[in-house]
């Protein structure tokens, strides 16, 4: 099966600019996640979708971050305006279920550098 | 709330030696436990998982982990390290209906 696709792989922007990341999950996976991985830390969940509804966005900085999942498939994550501390790898993942047992399948991530 | 502690941010072993990566978790109810591996510039890949049943879990690439409820541990082992095992390893915990929480990761270095 095709894996989780993410683009772009790398992005460099200046602070206060905006940026968007795209994710296409594994076909048939209803649940989609966006994680932020800061250098030296484990991934931190930003937002979880079940089909096109939000399940958990408690750690999403909503004043600057937004995400959507149209038609329950592809998803975009946007940052506007970016701050230096947003420099990180943004990982998209998908899973079949939401019960906590289902393993996550990750894309290769987008490495964002904010200067 | 769940949390995960990985002891040792860096572990170095010789090729052919035992690999032991430590993970302790906190959870008020029976957890689901996972180990993921991340190679440079790649996403995370599932190594193994424990949900219910047998407490000794075997995964890919010769790795295994044992769920010890009394010690709240889920340590990852491999009898003989290979150069290709050099990567970062993440322990993670969840429970029914809850999100997956990751530890800070352990970078494994394998010396020839």
A99: pLDDT strictly greater than 80: no
The predicted-structure confidence for A66-81, as pLDDT tens digits, reads as follows 999 988 899 999 999 9
Q: Give me the helices (H) in A8-107, please.
A: none
Q: How confident is the model at residue B52 (pLDDT cuts 50, 70, 90)?
A: confident
The predicted-structure confidence for A13-53, as pLDDT tens digits, reads as follows 999 999 999 999 999 999 999 999 999 899 999 999 998 89
B53: pLDDT strictly greater than 90: no
Instruction: Please answer yes or no on whether A103 and B104 come within 8 Å at the CB atom.
Output: no
The predicted-structure confidence for B3-12, as pLDDT tens digits, reads as follows 899 999 999 9
The predicted-structure confidence for B84-102, as pLDDT tens digits, reads as follows 999 999 999 987 667 889 9
Chain A residues with CB under 8 Å of a chain B CB are 4, 40-45, 48, 56, 91, 93, 98-101, 103-109, 111
- In this complex, is the C-beta atom of B28 within 8 Å of any C-beta atom belonging to chain A? no
- In this complex, is the C-beta atom of B5 within 8 Å of any C-beta atom belonging to chain A? no
pLDDT of residue B63: 98
- In this complex, is the C-beta atom of B40 within 8 Å of any C-beta atom belonging to chain A? no
Q: Cα–Cα distance between A21 and A80 in angstroms, integer?
A: 12
Q: Which residue of B has its CA nearest to A91?
A: B43
User: Kind and range of the H or E element at A111?
Assistant: strand A110-114
- In this structure, are residues A16 and A76 in contact, taking their beta carbons and an 8 Å threshold? no
pLDDT top residue among B32 and B29: B32
Q: How confident is the model at residue B27 (pLDDT cuts 50, 70, 90)?
A: confident
Phi, psi of A9 (to 5 degrees): -80, -35
Q: E strands within B1-112?
A: 3-7, 10-14, 19-26, 32-38, 44-50, 56-58, 64-68, 73-78, 87-94, 101-102, 106-111
Q: Which two tokens stand for residue B53?
A: 């049943």
Interface test with B, best of A5, A101, A111 (most B CBs within 10 A): A101
Residues of B in contact with A90 (CB under 8 A): none
Phi, psi of A107 (to 5 degrees): -80, 180
Q: How confident is the model at residue A6 (pLDDT cuts 50, 70, 90)?
A: very high
- In this structure, are residues B65 and B48 in contact, taking their beta carbons and an 8 Å threshold? yes
Q: Cα–Cα distance between A15 and A6 in angstroms, integer?
A: 22
Residue A108 has its nearest CB partner, among B32, B43, B97, at B43
A90: pLDDT strictly greater than 80: yes
- In this complex, is the C-beta atom of B88 within 8 Å of any C-beta atom belonging to chain A? no
- In this structure, are residues B21 and B81 in contact, taking their beta carbons and an 8 Å threshold? no
pLDDT top residue among B111 and A2: B111
pLDDT of residue A76: 97
């Amino acid at each position: 099966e095709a894996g989780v696709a993410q683009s772009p792989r790398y992005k460099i922007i200046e602070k206060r600019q905006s940026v968007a990341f795209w994710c296409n999950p594994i076909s048939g996976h209803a649940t989609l996640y966006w994680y932020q991985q800061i250098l030296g830390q484990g991934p931190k969940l930003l937002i979880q979708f079940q089909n096109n509804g939000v399940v958990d966005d408690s750690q999403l900085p909503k004043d600057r971050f937004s995400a959507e999942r149209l038609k329950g498939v592809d998803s975009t994550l946007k940052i506007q305006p970016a701050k230096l501390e947003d420099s990180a790898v943004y990982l998209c993942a998908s899973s079949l279920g939401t019960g906590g047992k289902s393993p996550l399948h990750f894309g290769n991530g987008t490495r964002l550098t904010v200067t | 709330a769940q949390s995960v502690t990985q002891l040792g941010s860096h572990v170095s072993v010789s090729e052919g030696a035992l690999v032991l990566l430590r993970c302790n978790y906190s959870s008020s109810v029976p957890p689901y436990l996972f180990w993921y591996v991340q190679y440079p510039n790649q996403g995370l890949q599932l190594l193994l998982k424990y949900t219910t049943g047998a407490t000794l879990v075997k995964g890919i690439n010769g790795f295994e982990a044992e769920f010890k409820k009394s010690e709240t541990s889920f340590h990852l082992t491999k009898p003989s390290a290979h150069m290709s095992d050099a990567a970062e390893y993440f322990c993670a915990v969840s429970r029914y209906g809850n999100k997956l929480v990751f530890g800070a990761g352990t970078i494994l270095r394998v010396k020839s």
